[in-house]
C-alpha cells in the first residue's frame, strides 16, 4: 500500500499539479486582460471628456483666428 500511495503522489505532482497551476494562472491572466465595468465606464468618460476638450480647443482657435489674426505665428516665434 505504501508504494501505491507514493506512485499516486508522484503522478499527482508530475501530471495533475502542473496542469492545475497552468490552468489557474491562465484563467487569472485572461481575467486581468479584460476591463471591469468600472474601468470601461471610466474609459468612456475620459473619451467623452477628451472629445469635448478637442471641440473647445478647436472653437478657441477659431475665435483667436477671427479676433487676433497671426496669433499662431507669434506663438511659434516666442518658442
17 and 52 in one domain?
A: no
Residue 64: how many CB atoms within 10 A of its CB?
14
Domain that holds residue 18: 1-34
Residue 53: how many CB atoms within 10 A of its CB?
10
Q: Which residue is associated with the grid cell 487676433?
A: 68
Give pLDDT, residue 30: 83
Please check whether residue 8 is in contact with residue 2, taking contact to mean a CB–CB distance below 8 angstroms. Answer: no
Mean predicted lDDT score pLDDT of the chain: 89
Share of the chain above pLDDT 90, in %: 54
Q: Which residue is associated with the grid cell 485572461?
A: 30
Give pLDDT, residue 59: 97
76 and 50 in one domain?
A: yes
Of 77 and 70, more confident: 70
Overall domain count for the chain: 2
Amino acid at each position: 500500500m505504501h508504494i501505491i500511495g507514493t506512485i499516486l503522489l508522484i503522478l499527482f505532482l508530475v501530471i495533475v499539479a502542473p496542469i492545475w497551476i497552468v490552468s489557474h494562472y491562465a484563467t487569472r491572466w485572461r481575467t486581468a486582460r479584460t476591463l471591469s465595468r468600472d474601468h470601461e465606464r471610466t474609459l468612456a468618460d475620459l473619451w467623452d471628456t477628451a472629445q469635448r476638450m478637442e471641440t473647445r480647443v478647436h472653437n478657441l482657435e477659431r475665435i483667436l483666428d477671427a479676433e487676433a489674426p497671426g496669433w499662431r505665428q507669434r506663438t511659434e516665434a516666442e518658442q
